[in-house]
A and B are shown apart, each in its own frame.
Chain A
Amino acid sequence: MNKTLDFNEFIILDGAMGTMLQAHGMKAGDLPETYNILQAKIIETIHREYIEAGANIITTNTFGANCYKYRDSNFKLEDIIGEGVQIARRAAGYNLVALNIGPLGQLMEPYGNLSFNDAYEAFKEQVVIGTKAGADLILIETMSDTYEAKAAILAAKENSSLPVICTMTFQENGRSLTGTDPFTMVNILQNLGLDAIGINCSLGPNEMMPLIPKIVDYSKIPIIVQANAGLPKIVDGETFYDVSPLEFANYVEEMADLGVTVFGGCCGTTPKHISAIKDALEAKAPHKVKVKPITAASSSTRTEILGNEVKIIGERINPTGKKLLQAALRKNDMDYLLKEAIVQKDKGAHILDVNVGLPEINEEELMVQAIKEIQGVVNLPLQIDSVVPQVIEAGARVCNGRPIINSVNGEAKIMESIFPIAKKYGCLVIGLTLDENGIPKTAKERLNIAKHIVDTAKTYGIPKEDIIIDCLVLTASAQQKEVKETIKAVELVKKELGVATTLGVSNVSFGLPSRGILNRTFLATALGAGLDAPILNPSEEDMISTVAAFNLLWNHDKDSKSYIASYSNLTKETSPKEEIGTKDLKKAIIDGRKKESSQLVKELLQTMTGLEIVDNYLIPALDIVGENYEKGQIFLPQLIQSAEAVKKSFEVIKENMILENKDEAPIEKGKIVLATVKGDIHDIGKNIVKVLLENYGYEVLDLGRDVPITKVVDTVKKEDISLVGLSALMTTTVKNMELTIEALRKECPDCKVMVGGAVLTQSYADMIGADFYARDARDSVNIANKLLLED
């Protein structure tokens, strides 16, 4: 019978494996886990030494035993991991064996090409083998990316019933390599059902000390620290670590006093360090820390706490009543959505609500895509807004952070479907104070529903600090009497339940003139009553300034710093980043002035149609720019600035058509699919081609980079595409270009393919079966014109 895992006591993990293996003569670059098969005795000896030194848990030699690192090896993961667990089992005796799972060594999307699902599958394979082989717990360690850690934790929780503990690694600047701080790590990961959380590797105990308080203050679960034996030092090309076991143990004592209870070592530590830890903890008892309950949402690099300073939840990504967003979502135009996200952040939003519900689209797919895209460019926490539980779950799963779910209400059925999702993915949840009978008239009744929601959440293991109550704003034009009930309800909820609150403020003024006046007045009153996080449009200056003023008056904005920074020189115009030109659209485009171009287009639209502007201004200007470029009179950045000016002009024209319901002939000439092929992530060239094709009136379906072959084929079929542009920058990925072309030939024989990219040449293009070789972006326009206009 093995010892049980008791987190009420100190737990001692083992120390470094790699360091020990190098001492046993492992070659640089070897896969250390192969020793489980080739040199099992050595591994067993190392484990035994750690057990003898006092470790309660030894970790298997399986850190890098994943399908990515072993893809080219002759070993099967089943053997490597299976043996790894067996060896540890033999050495452990009654002590416990932790299945060690390290990072996959690949960069996750959106910056790398490891998708969340692929990461999950890779971890799942390790978890399944290790659990079957008889591990007692799972240690996910040395993670740099919260997204990868989340994939690993979900894989462990969903495919094993073993306890799961996890550590991340931080640099001296207090951030992980992907930018996460320890507090954010705690907020995201502890709510995924971990048994313990902590930090390891990269730093010595001294450098780790400053990171510990934030973890201790907010972690509801036991805390692990596995430091290196100091920072690495290099002498004569050899790396070594020089914190002695005794010194190491001194830090362990300090950390234990702060509240850390699980200790071990990382790079450079030896059985002697572990033995010193054991001695140091002998006379100590675990220090229980009282954790501050907080209501906090996180992106991977940023955490927003509700309850002090007012936090703004941006409402703009919601198609209800927004024609442009509706049109963009129907066309899968993520650029528009991202623009909304970026503008809201720039205007001061702290959290972004994301709602992509439209009747005729696949909301689940679109939610996943929207979340992935937004978190790739904007580092704000997200709020997943849908009435469909599957959509919420899909969103919560792929969200890199700790999102808010919008929403549940007092209906049993809704809570039954949403709370398990919130619990599993560790989300915050908005609770609307309505139920089967609708929105109650009085504040008291709304409080009762709020209380019911909070109590029900508790039965799912969701504490009240993870609930945000929305007391619901009614419109003054229809239910004037009840408007102030909302304010009273906010007050009551704050007082009686002590939970965070939110409100969709602008509903109040619906149907009345000068809505801004009503909105800001209502907002100010609600904030005074205890509203923590209004949902609003951050572009409405009235609202933003009200929040800024409130934060100052309520002493959240210390020394009025933010307020002064924003409002002290209102009269000073924001610095014009563009030189102002001659008010001539053609000239503005040729000079690459984006803002001026779109402004001039707006003016011209008063007197002429979009098509006339395209024909009389945009195309002639583009022709001049193209000619200048070909003659070598301007260079690439100048060409692109003009292209962007044209793009902005087109946007204004298209938006005008949608908003005015104009029934003009469409200005698009045809659809073209663009993709950077599977495996390749270089997309600057493709982006340039895209903007130029759009300039010449083509609608570009940009599939992005690292695009699976099936996605290209499916899009071509679905959209009935006659021209595809593929790009690849590397010799290694041209193969995938060839395979993509092959698949297109088979499935869509009528579709033509043009290819481009640094390593391609005409003969290379011929060899892989492309129809056209585009030497540069301008060339691709010529190809498109020839193919699509001469039909």
Chain B
Amino acid sequence: MIVCKKEALRYLGYNKQNIDNNTKYLLDECIEELTGLINKKSVYKIFNIEWENEAIHLEDTILHMESKDIANHLAKSDKCALMAASLGLEVDMKIAFYARTNLSKSLILDACASSAIETYCDQVEETIAMEASDKGYNITSRFSPGYGDLDIGLQKPISQILETYPKMGLTVSENSIMMPRKSVTAIIGWQRGKPSTKINKCKLCNNINCLYRKADNNE
């Protein structure tokens, strides 16, 4: 199942309220509908990391990253994977359709899709982990432009390097918004030795009042 109900509910601000039958029904309906809308596509590529003082450069690419957080994240890595994943345009179309006709459904479908893209990224990450393991590496967790101090503007060069538009229809706008909306780009470090612990993305974010901030393993 690509939608994790618990996650979808978290995006909807759920906090142990009693869910009435209509809402339950809507949620199930959205999950089913979403399954038919998803046209998932992904690409990834592995690169050697070149350190230039504090900054990171990926060999034979145009990607140059100046960020403490990504430097920490990749501290033990000598290679990394760049990945991009997307659920495709039909999901956006349907969410927009319901925004005009049935706002509750639009909202719920959007939350389900947010959960689905995460699940899908986990699957892509799994594939990358296997490839890494074949070569004697383990991997770090995913780290995306916009986390911590990593410039969200890096989505554009990553998209260019992975040729995400021709390969999967993924575009990045002038304001670094990825379209189709339910899309992710991320960096995954390849390192020798012990696997690193999972990061809590929320911990890297400054918006401490955020509705979606994960309460568990926080702080």
Task: Known contacts A377-B97, A593-B22; decide if A636 and B13 are in contact (CB<8 Å).
Answer: yes
B108 with A27: CB separation less than 8 A: no
Instruction: For the complex, count residues of B whose C-beta is within 8 A of A.
Output: 65
| B217 CB–A CB distance under 8 Å | no
Closest chain-A Cβ to B98's Cβ sits at a distance in Å of 9
Closest chain-B Cβ to A12's Cβ sits at a distance in Å of 23
Contact with A along B1-39 (1 / 0, CB 8 A): 000000001001111011111110111000000000000
B157 with A732: CB separation less than 8 A: no
Task: Known contacts A29-B61, A377-B96, A761-B209; decide if A579 and B22 are in contact (CB<8 Å).
Answer: yes
User: B165 — nearest CB in chain A belongs to which residue?
Assistant: A105
B22 with A681: CB separation less than 8 A: no
Question: For chain A residues 73-117, which have a beta carbon within 8 Å of chain B?
Answer: 103, 105-107, 110-113
Contact partners of A112 in chain B: CB under 8 A: 171, 173, 179
| B110 CB–A CB distance under 8 Å | yes
B165 with A103: CB separation less than 8 A: yes
B209 with A640: CB separation less than 8 A: no
Tell me, in angstroms, the Cα distance from A732 to B175 when the chains sit together. 6
Contact partners of B60 in chain A: CB under 8 A: 27-28
User: A144 — nearest CB in chain B belongs to which residue?
Assistant: B169
**Main DSSP-derived SS at the A contact region:** loop
Closest chain-B Cβ to A433's Cβ sits at a distance in Å of 38
Contact with B along A328-350 (1 / 0, CB 8 A): 00000001001100100000000
Task: Known contacts A633-B17, A637-B108, A687-B106; decide if A679 and B174 are in contact (CB<8 Å).
Answer: yes
| A327 CB–B CB distance under 8 Å | no
| B119 CB–A CB distance under 8 Å | no
Tell me, in angstroms, the Cα distance from A732 to B90 when the chains sit together. 25
Contact partners of A681 in chain B: CB under 8 A: 173, 177, 179, 181
Closest chain-B Cβ to A527's Cβ sits at a distance in Å of 32
B89 with A178: CB separation less than 8 A: yes
Question: For chain B residues 128-161, which have a beta carbon within 8 Å of chain A?
Answer: 131, 146, 152-153, 157-158, 160-161
Contact partners of B153 in chain A: CB under 8 A: 732
Contact with A along B83-116 (1 / 0, CB 8 A): 0000011101101110111111011101000000
A106 with B181: CB separation less than 8 A: no
Closest chain-B Cβ to A581's Cβ sits at a distance in Å of 10
| B207 CB–A CB distance under 8 Å | yes
Instruction: For the complex, count residues of A whose C-beta is within 8 A of B.
Output: 65
A335 with B12: CB separation less than 8 A: no
A179 with B90: CB separation less than 8 A: yes
Contact partners of A578 in chain B: CB under 8 A: 22
Contact with B along A677-696 (1 / 0, CB 8 A): 00111111001100100000
A640 with B104: CB separation less than 8 A: yes
Tell me, in angstroms, the Cα distance from A688 to B61 when the chains sit together. 42
Point out the residue from B62, B93, B131, B161 that lies within 8 Å of A111, measured CB to CB.
B93
User: A69 — nearest CB in chain B belongs to which residue?
Assistant: B160
User: A690 — nearest CB in chain B belongs to which residue?
Assistant: B103
B12 with A635: CB separation less than 8 A: yes
Contact partners of A105 in chain B: CB under 8 A: 165, 171
Closest chain-A Cβ to B14's Cβ sits at a distance in Å of 5
Contact partners of B95 in chain A: CB under 8 A: 684
| A71 CB–B CB distance under 8 Å | yes
A577 with B25: CB separation less than 8 A: yes
Point out the residue from A110, A178, A635, A684 that lies within 8 Å of B15, measured CB to CB.
A635
| B63 CB–A CB distance under 8 Å | yes
User: B9 — nearest CB in chain A belongs to which residue?
Assistant: A635
Tell me, in angstroms, the Cα distance from A202 to B93 when the chains sit together. 23
Q: Could you list which residues of chain A lie within 8 angstroms of chain B, going by C-beta atoms?
A: 27-31, 68, 71, 103, 105-107, 110-113, 142, 144, 177-179, 201-202, 232, 237, 335, 338-339, 342, 376-377, 577-579, 591-593, 632-638, 640-641, 643-644, 679-684, 687-688, 691, 730-733, 736, 758-759, 761, 776
A-B contact pairs, 5 of them (CB 8 A): A113-B179, A339-B101, A641-B26, A643-B103, A730-B175
